Structure formats: structure tokens, C-alpha cells
Chains A and B, each alone.
Chain A
Amino acid sequence: AQSVTQLDSQVPVFEEAPVELRCNYSSSVSVYLFWYVQYPNQGLQLLLKYLSGSTLVKGINGFEAEFNKSQTSFHLRKPSVHISDTAEYFCAVSGGGTYKYIFGTGTRLKVLA
């Protein structure tokens, strides 16, 4: 069975500071990993995904994530955040021949002026 853990429910950070949102997964098979962003009162939007190959994945809006197989992690980073990055971020995992996703519980990023 697969699972995803996002330990931080809320992360406050000042504008122009770096941020890291943590995601850990467990799986007995190879996985695909995703980050989604949800702005207030909207649906989820795909930020980036890891399928294979380079462990550093770049996504939209300046975000990137690094796949670490030994640590079973897929942390999301941005070197300098903006007020407009305030949103909820979800990590998701799929794999093992199923197309069903397992979503984490989300991390609410609040960027402070």
C-alpha cells in the first residue's frame, strides 16, 4: 500500500524568503510523485511531477522539488516566495499499476508581507 505524509499543516514565511514544504511517502513499488497547488476557492492545479530520470524537477511559478529515494521524500522548494504563493499545497503519489492517486493532507503556505 502507498501513503503520503505532509507533516506541516501550516507554514508561515516572509515574502522573498525561501521555503521548503515537506513530503514523505511509503510504497513497496516504484512511484510517481506530484505536487499540486490550490488557491482559495479553486480546484487543484498541477505544479510539477516526478516520473523518472533527474531527481530535481522544476515546475511552474519557480517551484522545484527533489526526489530522494533513500529518504523516501519529495520536498517542494522555492528560493524566494511572493504574496501570490499563498495557497494550499498537496503532495500526491501514484504507481504500482494503478492510476489512483493518494493525496497528502496538505500544507497551507502563508506568505507574510
Chain B
Amino acid sequence: NAGVTQTPKFQVLKTGQSMTLQCAQDMNHEYMSWYRQDPGMGLRLIHYSVGAGITDQGEVPNGYNVSRSTTEDFPLRLLSAAPSQTSVYFCASSQQGANRYGYTFGSGTRLTVV
């Protein structure tokens, strides 16, 4: 059982480049989220989705886009990378009623923007 799979694990981008972080889950979870983790700041929600075709912004959405065309996939797009987006990115998924079940996290993507 793969759970939540994130690719790539590491990425270095130049300022202004764009890229897509991939996230896929095989648990048929409705809820999916993207978080970024920065030292001393915990995890901050970027975007989330409550089902295919439905997405919404979290607390730090600027500079990022998402889409959810299938239940399984929830890619995160960086439109024009900036050094402030250097971070570790986590994708997470949950059953319906995520606030009761808790999240399953991927292993993360470590992104450096130079």
C-alpha cells in the first residue's frame, strides 16, 4: 500500500522558473492538502481540496496554483519561483471528515530556489 507519493524528493530551481510538485494517493481519500514546512514555523497550509474539481486557498497561497482533476492526484504548481519559496513541501490526504481521522502525509519534497 503506497499511501501518499510525492515526486520529486529534491529539486533546485532558479528564480523565475516554474515547476510542478506531484502528489498521488491510492487510498481513495477525498481530502487532500499541501503544506510547507519552514524552521520554527510549523506547517502552513497552502491549498486544499475536498474532492475532485474542488480546491480552495489556505493561509499561504500566493505564488502557487493547484487543480484536482481526479481523486488520486493533487499537483502543486509554482508559477515563478522565488527564494522565499525555498522550503519542504508536504502533501497530505484524509478520509471524509479529515478533522476527525487525521492526515496521511507524503515523505516531502525539499525545494531550493536560488
Q: Which residues of A contact B (CB under 8 A)?
A: 9, 32, 34, 36, 41-46, 49, 51, 90, 94-95, 98-101, 103-106
26 contacts between A and B (CB under 8 A): A9-B40, A34-B102, A36-B105, A42-B108, A43-B4, A43-B90, A43-B92, A43-B105, A43-B107, A43-B108, A44-B43, A44-B90, A44-B92, A44-B103, A46-B104, A51-B100, A90-B42, A90-B43, A98-B99, A99-B50, A99-B94, A99-B99, A100-B99, A101-B103, A103-B43, A105-B40
CA distance A66 to B50 in the complex (A): 31
Q: Chain A: which residue is nearest B48 at the CB level?
A: A100
Contacts of B4 in A (CB 8 A): 43
Nearest opposing residue in chain B for A4, CB measure: B42
Q: How large is the interface on B (under 10, 10 to 19, 20 to 34, 35 or more residues)?
A: 20 to 34
Instruction: Find chain A residues with CB under 8 A from B34 CB.
Output: none
Give the 9 A-B residue pairs with the shortest CB-CB distance, closest first.
A43-B105, A94-B99, A99-B98, A105-B42, A103-B43, A103-B42, A46-B102, A99-B99, A44-B105
B31 within 8 Å of A (CB atoms): yes
Q: Which residues of B contact A (CB under 8 A)?
A: 4, 31, 33, 35, 40-45, 48, 50, 58, 90, 92, 94, 97-100, 102-108
Chain A contacts of B45 at CB under 8 A?
Answer: 100-101
Q: Give Cα A24 to B44, complex, Å.
A: 18
Given contacts A44-B43, A99-B94, 10 further A-B contacts (CB under 8 A): A32-B99, A41-B108, A42-B107, A43-B106, A44-B103, A90-B42, A99-B98, A101-B43, A103-B44, A104-B42
